[in-house]
Amino acid sequence: MPEQTRKAVEQEAARLFGTGSVKGVLLLLDQYQCPPDEPHRVHLAVLKLSEGKIELLKHFIKQAQDDFRDVLYWAEYYGRKGA
């Protein structure tokens, strides 16, 4: 997993959605109240799962609100060989 900072979140948002969409993507991510010790990890997981699609971004933000551990699992472990 890349370094988990706000800058890493911004860079990943730009990579997936384009630099012109970063502000809007960050606003959507900031609607989710993350665990205080790992907000960037959850944001990066949601971005990864979104595959650059705004509908999926919104879907996985909602999933994170229900249980952030699900999105962490899906992004970091699901489908990994040996996991």
* pLDDT tens-place string over residues 10-51: 999 999 999 999 999 999 999 887 776 788 999 999 999 999
Q: What is the pLDDT of residue 78?
A: 83
Q: Is residue 16 part of a domain?
A: yes
Per the structure, the complete domain to which residue 52 belongs is given by 6-76
Q: Is residue 72 part of a domain?
A: yes
pTM over 0.85: yes
Q: Is residue 82 part of a domain?
A: no
Query: Residue 83: is its pLDDT beyond 60?
Result: no
Q: Is residue 34 part of a domain?
A: yes
Q: Is residue 25 part of a domain?
A: yes
Number of domains the chain contains: 1
Backbone φ/ψ region at 18: left (φ over 0), alpha (ψ -120 to 50), beta: left
Angle (nearest 5°) at CA 80 between 60 and 34:
30
Query: Residue 75: is its pLDDT beyond 90?
Result: yes
Q: Is residue 65 part of a domain?
A: yes
Q: What is the pLDDT of residue 82?
A: 44
Q: Is residue 1 part of a domain?
A: no
Q: Is residue 60 part of a domain?
A: yes
Q: What is the pLDDT of residue 33?
A: 77
